[in-house]
């Protein structure tokens, strides 16, 4: 595992800022200790600093995973956020969308959120903002990007896309080999 380079750190923080805003600092400097991001085999891991220092004594080839995988660096040089980061994103998110029970399964199969499936939406969400998608029982299901501002959603047709799908908890079953390898 190695520390992220400056441009890699910028990519990760920009993507996180898209979903959790200024709470990125709270993600690093938590009350239970300092956390950091490390890169191993193209994947970015969120690791407690104490644990990372202990793992530094092991050879890189022996480490398969350490901490929580937040995403991966693509071959084109972009950062792709994975569903494994959902647990931390939903704690610090600013923009939220809640789905009706009838639309939850559709979202977890990898489909976009339509106006007909929208139960509630946070106030003042701009277009193309990162949002966390919740079930009607406040369980985080995934995350996406808004297709319309929250003000425009009130007057949208039922079949208009409100949120573009990015990741959902159904990926644990659909893409098990890719997520955990």
In this prediction, residue 96 carries a pLDDT of 94
Can you spell out the DSSP letters for 77-116?
S-EEE-GGGHHHHHHH-S-EEEE-HHHHHHHHTTPPEEGG
Let me know: does 125 contact 139? Beta carbons within 8 Å.
Answer: no
For residue range 97-109, what is the model confidence (pLDDT) as tens digits?
Answer: 999 999 999 999 9
Structural domains of the chain ordered from first start: 2-86 (3.10.450.220), 95-174 (2.30.130.10)
As a whole number of angstroms, the distance between CA 149 and CA 82 comes to 24
Chain centroid offset of residue 30 CA: 18
**pTM for the full predicted model:** 0.87
| Mean pLDDT to the nearest integer, 36-59 | 87
């Amino acid at each position: 595992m190695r520390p992220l380079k400056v441009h890699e750190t910028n990519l990760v923080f920009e993507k996180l800022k898209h979903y959790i805003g200024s709470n990125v600092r709270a993600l690093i400097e938590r009350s239970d200790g300092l956390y950091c991001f490390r890169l191993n085999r193209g994947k970015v891991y969120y690791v407690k600093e104490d644990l990372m220092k202990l793992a530094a004594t092991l050879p890189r080839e022996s480490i398969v995973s350490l901490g929580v995988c937040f995403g991966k660096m693509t071959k084109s040089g972009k950062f792709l956020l994975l569903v494994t980061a959902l647990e931390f994103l939903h704690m610090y998110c600013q923009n939220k969308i809640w789905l009706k029970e009838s639309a939850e399964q559709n979202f977890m199969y990898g489909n976009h959120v339509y106006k007909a499936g929208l139960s509630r939406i946070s106030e003042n969400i701009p277009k193309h903002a990162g949002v966390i998608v919740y079930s009607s029982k406040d369980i985080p299901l995934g995350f996406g990007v808004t297709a319309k501002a929250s003000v425009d959603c009130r007057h949208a047709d039922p079949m208009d896309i409100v949120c573009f799908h990015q990741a959902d908890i159904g990926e644990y079953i659909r893409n098990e080999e890719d997520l955990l390898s």
